[in-house]
Amino acid sequence: MLVVEQTFTPGSRSGDAPRFLQLVAHPVRWRLLRELAYSDRAVWELTQLLGEQQSLVSYHLGQLRAGELVLSRRSSADRRDSYYTIDLARCAEQLQAAGGTLHPALWLAPAPPSTRRTHRRSRRRPRILFLCTGNSARSQIAEALLAQRSEGTVEVASAGSNPKPLHPNAVRVMRMHGVDISDNRTEHLNEFVSQRFDFVITLCDRVREVCPDFPSHPNLVHWSVPDPALEGPNDRTTYAAFERTANELATRIGFLLQMLDEPSTRRSAHAER
C-alpha cells in the first residue's frame, strides 16, 4: 500500500506517521543510518558492524535507498563493491518536516552557526587530514573548504598516496568559493603518518585500501567521492564535475563541523579497526 506523506492541517485525524518516521523507526535501518552518518560503508562492513545477515542488511539498505535517505556508488577500487552514503541534508529536511506534521510548533531548526563557532574556540583545535590518491583535486578542495568554514578553529591538511600536480580545475572551482589554492603543493601521505590527527578522512576508495596505520590512532572516516578529473576527456568538460565535487564536500564538511562541536558524538579509533 502506498503511504502518502501528510502536511499539517488543523483538525486532521490521519493516523499515518510520515514515511520518514516509518523508515527510520525500524531498529536495523536506524543502526544502518547511525553507521553511515559516521562513514561511508560497503555492505560487507555493515553486515559485520550490525552482526546481521547480508540479505537482511541489503534489504533494509534498499528500503533506505527507495526513501532517498541513502545513496550508493560503485567502488573505484573494486567495481564488485558499492559504497553506501547517507544523505544527511535530506534526513535533516525530513526530520524537520516530521515534527511539523504533528504540530507547527515542533518544526525543528538547526542551532545558529555563530554559537557553534564560539563554542569550538574554547577547546583544543581538532586536527583533520584529508587523503586521496593524487592530492591534486578532492583532498585539496576539502582542505580549503574546511579551513575556510572553520574560521581557524580546525587545523587541516591534505595528502595523497601518489601525489600529482595540482589540477587547474581544483584551483578554478575554489576560486569561485573565494579561496586561492594556486600556490598549494601536493604532498605524500607518508609525510603525515607520524603526526597526531583526530580524524583521517579518505576521499578515494583506492587510498582507503592503502591507508597506513597512524601511531596517534585517529578516527578513520571514509567519504566515497568520485575523481572529478575522470569525468571527461579534458579540463573544459570536467569542470562541471569539479563543481559537483566541491558542492558535495561543502555539504559533508558542514555536517563534520557540527559533529566536531559535540565531543560526546565522536567515536574512538578502535571503532574503525
211 is annotated as an active-site residue? yes
Q: Which three cell numbers stand for residue 15?
A: 493516523
CB 76 within 8 A of CB 132: no
Q: Which residue has the cell 578542495?
A: 141
In the set 97, 211, 250, 259, the catalytic residue is 211
* Geometric angle at alpha carbon 86, from 28 and 125, rounded to 5°: 110
Other Cβ atoms less than 10 A from the Cβ of 256: the count is 23
Q: How far is CA 196 from CA 39, 57, 132, in A?
A: 20, 35, 18
Q: What is the DSSP string of 12-28?
A: ----PPPHHHHHHTSHH
Residue 150's SS3 state is: helix
Separation of alpha carbons 63 and 50, rounded Å? 17
Residue 270: helix, strand or coil by DSSP?
A: helix
* CA–CA gap between residue 43 and residue 56 (Å, rounded): 11
Edge-to-edge order in the sheet of strand 127-132? 155-160, 127-132, 199-202, 219-222
Q: Which one of 32, 91, 132, 203 is the catalytic residue?
A: 132
Residue 91: active-site member: no
SS percent in the chain: helix, strand, coil, step 5: 50, 10, 40
How many Å apart are CA 16 and CA 4, to the nearest integer? 9
Supply 181's cell numbers: 589554492
Of 204, 207, 220, 241, catalytic:
204
Q: What residues are labeled active site?
A: 132, 204, 211
